[in-house]
Chain A
Amino acid sequence: MDGKRDFKPVVGFFCFTCCEGCGFTVLFLDNLMQILDKIDLKYFNLIKEKDKKAEFDLAFVEGAITTKSEIAKLKKLRAKSKTLVAIGACACYGGIPAMRNFIENKDLEKYTYNKQSIEDSIEAQPIENFIKVDYKLRGCPILKDEFTSFIESYISGREWISFKGPVCMQCPRRGKNCFLGEKKMCLGAVTNGGCNATCVREGIPCIMCRGPLETANFPAEIALFKRWGVEQREIMGKLGKFGQQKLKKKENDKT
């Protein structure tokens, strides 16, 4: 980023196919007012109507791309935005919507809603498959602290650096009473960290909502679960909940 800003950045929040939980997380911020004071919020699907002429210094995008018309909208948005940030699992790595890419065709048809949506429909994909993404705020939903730290960095002109490493790095059970030792399928070792291992602290093994870690050793993780006698489909079901699109890409790269 390029030095402290002496103007209020024009900010927009945009939403494609998702549950809108990231948008709500922003509205749920305790410091919402302080943030609103520092920005010029021009669009937020949930609370503010669109100013069609607006161009954005900073655009936040949640949701996966699931239709052809969404691709066109996304590209237009990119052209109008100086900095574009993917927020949440769906925008960053496909998230829950991308799970549908792996349903067999006959099932899809059975569960298909109607003809029109099928004609326009494409595989659910993260936004970076179509446009350049400047930053990613991961998680399902995003973390309030991470969002705040990002926007404060942006306003003060400091470069924002995302957490590097697996969930285990911040895990209170690390080296002591690791869930894996209890044969509970915790995915912390193969998941992007930075969440302070919230779920583990609440007694829940990591479910990979912050997406597959680029450097993770998936074959070793899968082999471990198989040694426990876990079926392939359960393993893939758990690993693929949020980042199946990325996992699939890795497999394609191999072949």
Chain B
Amino acid sequence: MTKLELEHIAKIEGHAKLYIKVEGGKIETVELRVMEGSRFFEGILRDRKYNDISHIASRICGVCSVVHAITSTKAIESALGIQVSEQTRILREVLNIGGIIQSHALHLYFLTLPDYAGVDSVLALAKTHKATFDRALRLKRLGNMIVKTMAGRDVHPIACVLGGFSRIPSKESIESLVEELKRCKEDAVETVNLFLSLKYPEFKKQTKMFCITGDKYFYSSKSVMCEKGECFPINDYEKHFDQYLTEGSPAEFATLKGQSYLVGAMARLNNNMDLLTPESKKYALRIKHMKDNPFMNIPAQAIEILDAVNRAIIILSNIELKDESPVEYDVNPCACEGIAACEAPRGILFHKYAFDAKGYCTHADIVTPTTQNLRHIEEAIKEYISDMLDKRPDYVKKEIEKLIRAYDPCISCSTHFLEIEWEAD
């Protein structure tokens, strides 16, 4: 028995380690273990006042802080019975779109593209493919600009509060945002063309795909939908998805009654195709038949960037904003609980909170998209490399990394390096 340790795979979000055991030429075990210190989020949220929760929950993840802020706010509103205006819903949709562009642009250009361009990092691309790199920076800046305009800061946004927003964006800021969106439209189209043109490995793994459905591609809240159209109410997520922990890792795994399932861009594209703008739908149709290839998550994200830009232009071009006050300070606490779910860049994000009569949190449950995808990732690695075992470890390692990155996992709902520990006979 030889033991091979491959460590420090960069370019994914969070610290994880992959353990692979090969016996008699067959892969026995593939285990993803998260290697970062526990932050006990659900523990530290307990006993906090309702208006402290969102600030803490957004810190679960630096790259998708936007959607954690929105989802926690919505869950608390649902618990406390706070209604929001249509304007708030629209502004939050745009805010979420900004978060999706931030995250997808980073994943596609900074983490994924180097794999397919044959370079070790995005920094090399900056020299060899300057136009592409500049496009990446423009899209990233666009995402930041949307988030900052809507909610004050581009990482850990602050203005999305109970009952709405602490302030409404000015007319001028919306106008310059629309201009910037229009300027970046071409970048979004080129992004789609680029990521549709890359050569992805041929690999299939059939899985049930879930996303939230309703009337908006990026901001529905009607129900959770499986690809065949079966739906269940968001509030019932615990009845359908089980969460479990494995020894040796502080990350949770979620399953569909023991079976792996998938959330994220490909799930949304496949299930919610009819909610796309016509232009992005045209592209989506080109990859729909390859939905079972996890690598298709990459072009799916590119198409979502285009849809996000289109959608934001449509919404913001005709918007008339009026001043509204949030209710952050006029809430009557009560013993209650609330659940909310949003489409995060990586898939469905659930937040659930319970409060006591004085407004202190008594229970918190957060199910991130990566929690839901981890089981699928493990199974896919096992299948993907099963006929590569005669290849050089370096090659296999690179292929595993590519596959993992395609899912865009975010392990503390966020990863920095993955160590691979390999046991083979």
Chain A residues packing against B (C-beta within 8 Å): 15-25, 27-28, 30, 32-33, 36, 41, 44-50, 64-67, 70, 95-97, 99-100, 103, 107-108, 110-117, 121, 124, 140-141, 184, 198-199, 202-204, 207, 209, 231, 233-234, 237-238, 241
Asked whether B62 lies within 8 Å of A111 as measured between CB atoms, the reply is no
Q: How far is the CA of A117 from the CA of B153 in the complex (A)?
A: 33
User: B2 an interface residue at 8 Å Cβ cutoff?
Assistant: no
Q: Cβ of B126: which chain A residues have Cβ within 8 Å of it?
A: 33, 36
Q: Cβ of A140: which chain B residues have Cβ within 8 Å of it?
A: 59, 156
Chain B residues packing against A (C-beta within 8 Å): 8-11, 13-15, 36-40, 42-44, 46-49, 52, 55-56, 59-63, 65, 102, 106, 110-111, 120-123, 126, 137, 140-141, 144, 152-156, 158-159, 161, 166-167, 245-252, 329, 358, 360, 412, 414, 416-417
Closest-by-CB residue of A relative to B42 is A111
Q: How far is the CA of A141 from the CA of B156 in the complex (A)?
A: 7
Closest Cβ of chain A: how far from B354's Cβ, in Å? 15
Q: Check A28/B155 contact, CB under 8 A, given A20-B414, A124-B37.
A: yes
Asked whether A47 lies within 8 Å of B11 as measured between CB atoms, the reply is yes
Q: Cβ of A121: which chain B residues have Cβ within 8 Å of it?
A: 37-38
Closest-by-CB residue of A relative to B9 is A49
Q: Cβ of B47: which chain A residues have Cβ within 8 Å of it?
A: 233, 237
Q: How far is the CA of A36 from the CA of B152 in the complex (A)?
A: 27
Asked whether B37 lies within 8 Å of A198 as measured between CB atoms, the reply is no
Closest Cβ of chain B: how far from A168's Cβ, in Å? 18
Q: Cβ of B414: which chain A residues have Cβ within 8 Å of it?
A: 19-20
Closest Cβ of chain A: how far from B367's Cβ, in Å? 15
Q: How far is the CA of A25 from the CA of B245 in the complex (A)?
A: 31
Q: Cβ of A41: which chain B residues have Cβ within 8 Å of it?
A: 123
Q: Check A66/B37 contact, CB under 8 A, given A33-B137, A204-B161.
A: yes
Asked whether B13 lies within 8 Å of A46 as measured between CB atoms, the reply is yes
Asked whether B52 lies within 8 Å of A116 as measured between CB atoms, the reply is no
Closest Cβ of chain A: how far from B418's Cβ, in Å? 11
Asked whether A207 lies within 8 Å of B62 as measured between CB atoms, the reply is no
Q: How far is the CA of A107 from the CA of B40 in the complex (A)?
A: 10
Asked whether A96 lies within 8 Å of B44 as measured between CB atoms, the reply is yes
Q: How far is the CA of A103 from the CA of B364 in the complex (A)?
A: 14
Q: How far is the CA of A198 from the CA of B167 in the complex (A)?
A: 13
Q: How far is the CA of A121 from the CA of B358 in the complex (A)?
A: 33
